Structure formats: structure tokens, C-alpha cells
Copies of this chain bind each other. A is one copy, B any other.
Amino acid sequence: MKLSAHEIANLVQGEWVGDSQKVVTGVAPFEQATSSDIAFVAQSKYVQEIPSSSAGILLLQKGVAVSGRTAVLVENPQFAFLKILQICAQEKKQVKIGVHATAVVSSDVQIGKNVSIGAYTVIESGTTIGDGTVIGPLCSIGKDVTLGSACQLYAHVTIREEVVLQDRVILHAGCVIGADGFGYLTVNQTHHKIPQVGTVLIEDDVEIGANVTVDRATMGKTVIGRGSKIDNLVQIAHNVQVGAGCIIAAQTGVAGSSKLGVGVTLAGQVGIGDHVIVGDKTIVAAGSGVVDDLPAGSVMFGYLARPIQKEKKIQVLLGKLPALFSEFRKVKKKLQIDESEPKDD
């Protein structure tokens, strides 16, 4: 990357101030940037710290006054910076179009235009791959899978039979899409496996993190809705329906047949029980456990999860429990009630 303030201003539809010929070759956080980096200041409250940054070029909000610095002024510095990051990332990503000589691709696989298939990737019969899709090395793609256009699969991805990915889906390394759901019929203490004959549908613009597992449905489909983003090591069980635009942070688990609405946010290490319905735009704080349905717009916290304001109050009061018990003893003494400590029952 090598961009001048003038070029950057053009790219992000902003205005430069200072030295229009000033060139940067990298991106960096505000506080770590050197004179060859561009950095951004998201909020006006950080503007006073501008003198402390060594960034060669600053991306600032229109209206911010700087003197003696080279800057590019835009409506939304963070969004403009995203464009710079995209250019930076694009340059690093030089994909070789074509099927690597070592890939084992069944003869009936339909391969679109400008597809890249990495070394030692194995693709079984009946599968279709859309235009511009990039498949990393060492992936395993089962029978009758459908991959849309412009998808990106990193190394070691497993996609089991019949799974469908729509367009622009990103699957990070090691994720497993379409493994059998966890279902048994227990008769006389023997667990009989319930064959999982359903599948998985991953809609447009979904991104799924490293080593995530999304199980196939017992019957029907497990669905990850359009534009949802899933972080590393998440578990999505069979028959789960994730709505559009959800954010699911690392190590969260959603148990069987649960349904997330549109725009739901689950923070890290959340657990959603089975057959739970989570309303649109609900937010669940990290580490929470949800076992009951939640209406749209809920903001929950705790194990078990409660409305966040209630749980925050309870968390404070838990810290005062020792004092409460001790004062309660005094009360009982004054009332000449048995003074012993309350006991477990």
C-alpha cells in the first residue's frame, strides 16, 4: 500500500488538509501509528489527543480543526478507515484462479468462473461451485453440496453432504458445517442414534469463525440467516434457526431447535437452551444462560439470564449478602428470636 493524502481523500470522498503529497504505507491504531501510517479518530472526545499521535495522516471528522498536521476530513472517519483497510487487505490477498493439480474433484462437480480450489482439497460428486468462490487447501466438501458465488473457504473446512451456502459466505479454518445433530432415542439405557437426514442452509453474506460447528437438522434445515456473523468455537445445534443480521460471539452455544430472531446479539460464552425463541434485536450479555423465550428487544444478563438492569442490581446485592446476614443476626437478637445463622435446607 502506498497512498498520498490526496489519493486517500479521493478514495473516501473527503477533503485533505496539510500536505496533499504526504504518503503512507500502512495502517495502525491511533496511539501506535508512525509517520508512515494512516490512523483515524472516531470520536470528537479523542480529538484533544491528536498531538500525541505520530500518524502520518489522520482521518478525522469534518469540522475538526487541526493545525500543522496532514489529515483527511470525512463524515464518518471509522467508515472511511474501513475502506483503507479493505485496500490494504485486498493487496495481501492474491488468489490463484484455477484448480490446484492435487485437488481431488469429482468429475461431475460444476465449477463456475474464476474459481480457486486449493491443494489437497477433496470435493465429492454432485457438488456445484459458484463464480469467484475461493476454496483453501485441505478442505473436504461432501456430495451434492451447493456453494454460491464469491464465497471464501479457508483451510481445513469440512462441509458435509447436501449443505447449501448462498453467496459471499466466509468460512474460517477448521469449521465443520453439517455434522450430525446430537440426537438419540434411549431405550433400556441404550442410546440409539437418530439418523440426521436434514441439512444446513447458510444464507448470503454470513461469516463463520474458526473451528465453529453447525450441525445438520434431524429433518429439514438448520439455517444461518443472511448477513449473520459467527465468531470462533461457536456451536449451533441441529434445527436451529438463526435470523438475519445476528452477531454471535466466541464459544457461544445454541441448543437444538432454538430460534433467534433478526438482529440478535449473543456475546461470548452465552448458552441458549433448546427450543428457545429469542425475539428480534435481543442482546444477551457474555456468559449468560437463557432457557426461556425472550420477547423482541430484550437485554439480558446472568446465569440464568434476567433483564440486565435487574441482574446488575442483584450482582451488587450479592456483594452485600455477608453484611445482610450479619445485620439480620442483630435484628433477631433485638427481637429475641433464635439467634443462630439461617441454615441450609
Q: Identify the A interface with B (CB < 8 A).
A: 27-29, 32, 78-79, 82, 85-86, 88-89, 92, 100, 102, 104, 118-120, 122, 136-138, 140, 154-156, 158, 160-162, 170, 172-174, 176, 179-180, 182, 184-185, 187, 189-197, 207, 209-211, 213, 215, 218-220, 227, 229, 231-233, 235, 237, 245, 247, 249-251, 253, 255, 263, 268-269, 271, 273, 286-287, 289, 291, 303-304, 306, 310, 313-315, 317-328, 330-332, 334-335, 337, 341-345
Contact = CB atoms under 8 A, between A and B. Distances in A.
B187 A79 contact: yes
Contacts of A195: 82, 85-86, 88-89
A250 B231 contact: no
B324 A220 contact: no
Nearest to A124: B137
The listed residue with most B CB atoms (<10 A of its CB), out of A156, A237, A334, is A156
A237 B210 CA distance: 11
Name the 9 nearest CB pairs between A and B, nearest first. A323-B342, A89-B195, A140-B155, A158-B173, A176-B210, A213-B232, A179-B210, A85-B195, A182-B231
A303 B287 contact: yes
Contacts of A215: 210, 232
Given A104-B120, A331-B337, A29 B172 contact: no
B320 A330 contact: no
Contacts of A89: 195-197
Given A89-B195, A197-B89, A229-B191, A182 B255 contact: no
Nearest to A93: B161
Given A89-B197, A210-B176, A227-B190, A334 B337 contact: yes
A48 B233 CA distance: 42
Contacts of A324: 324-325, 328, 342
Which of A27, A176, A209, A291 is most buried by chain B, counting CB atoms within 10 A of its CB?
A176
Name which of A155, A194, A271, A331 has the most chain B CB atoms within 10 A of its CB. Answer: A155
A138 B320 CA distance: 55
A136 B124 CA distance: 12
A178 to B, nearest CB: 9
B184 A180 contact: no
Choose among A120, A184, A218, A330 the residue with the greatest number of B CB atoms under 10 Å from its CB. A120
